Structure 1
Amino acid sequence: MTGAAINLLLVIPFLVLAFFLSRGKGAFLIAGYNTMPKEEKAKYDEVALCKFMGKILYGISLSMVLLSLSEWLAIPALLWVGIALMTGLIIFTLVYLNTGNRFKK
């Protein structure tokens, strides 16, 4: 029971960050982007990248809620759905960001 409560408490910062990013702000929170020189950053659409990462964080937050609910309600199927959702989102994000020049200006 306490593990589910801790997981739900961890969802709150993810939702705050997702909201912040989905507004098109907070690019300094995106790993890799914040370490680029200013000349490289100028080549990217910062607002679109932030909005995309915000949507991904909303999905990860949902998967974390499913993981917590699976423990709290003792429904193992929710655990597997949460794991599949999180894994799928991470793989999709890695492939989507690293193929093509989607966020270049």
Structure 2
Amino acid sequence: MTDHHTYGTSTHTVGELVRLVSDRLGLIFTERDSYYQGVYYLADIPSGRIQIQPNPIPGDDDEDDLYAPEHPAAQVLLLTATPTSDPALRTRLGSIEGLTHLNHETA
């Protein structure tokens, strides 16, 4: 079972959010480039991973598509995946001004 959380912001750029989360959690993010997701940043945490990426991603028709179309106002997304619920992580992320919890799924 994996616990997934989606956060979003229209206050911070991708770079700003990477810096804020790095400082707050003591993480090092690695830049990745994906045909499907575009450029995003990934950090491993002891019990999972955190990904930061723009919501608009390059589409096949040279138009941007939204990674999370259900949250069009969020220009930047932060995605977490942990094997179990991690309330401490949620609390620390929740303390970042301008970052809003958008969704929770368990798979």
- Between Structure 1 and Structure 2, which shows a larger proportion of strand residues? 2
Bigger RCO (CA 8 Å, 6+ sep): 2
When Rg is computed on C-alpha atoms for both structures, the one with the higher figure is 1
TM-score (norm 2): 0.28
Q: TM-score, normalised by structure 1?
A: 0.28
